[in-house]
Amino acid sequence: MAFTIQFVREFTRLGLNRSVGGVLALAFSRELSPVVTSIVVAGRIGSAFAAELGTMQVSEQTDTLRVLGADPVDYLVTPRVIASCIALPFLTLMCFTVGLASSALLADGVYGISINIILDSAHRALKSWDLISAMIKSQVFGAIISIVSCAWGVTTIGGAKGVGESTTSAVVISLVGIFIADFALSYCFFQGAGDSLKNCV
């Protein structure tokens, strides 16, 4: 909604009301939804992974698993990585839907741009690849968050202080990894001149 406030008023002055929905849909699907969702997940889930595994490491629970003949990576890390890669695309899709709907309601209520116009513009601008790329991005981000957080967790040393340091480092490095991966994937997915908005003007 904040994003909508920033540019809808400018588009309205230029008479580009019919392009608003397309710009919203492209911004949400290509960048905002996967990145914002991943940031939230990194803060919530990544920190939980690092703290939980770090506590298990300093309390020697992972050593107990090794004594019992179980591989801590297979037992503790792999399920978390798979779950993150599966869950994040669904959360991204939910973020896209809620974000586009709330922005359409705001544009209609404050700036008088009909919801039908916004949805029609979004439908014209969006291509299947835009949503597929968002799903691919979110899966990559999920893998980054879970792998980095679990790696910091299982290598924790130094008791409670070490758990705190591992948790902080896991979140910070996950966020940096998300931004770097986002740039790399966007550069690969969207090269050349785009024509997604030509049908919305």
Q: Which residue has the tokens 């030509």?
A: 198
pLDDT per residue as tens digits for the range 179-194: 999 999 998 888 765 6
Instruction: Count other Cβ atoms within 10 Å, centred on residue 75.
Output: 12
CA distances from 121 to 15, 17, 157 (A): 14, 9, 54
Least confident range of 112-116, 124-128, 192-196:
192-196
The structure's pTM equals 0.87
CB of 76 closer than 8 Å to CB of 48: no
Contact 52/153 with Cβ under 8 angstroms?
yes
CB burial readout 21-55, b (16+ within 10 A) else e: bbbbbbbbbbebbbbebbbebbeebbbebbbbbbb
For 45-96, write each residue's pLDDT tens digit. 999 999 998 888 888 888 887 888 878 788 888 999 999 999 999 999 999 9
Return the higher-pLDDT residue of 63 and 195. Answer: 63
Provide the mean pLDDT of the chain: 87
- pLDDT over 70 for what percent of the chain? 95
- Locate tokens 């914002």: which residue? 36
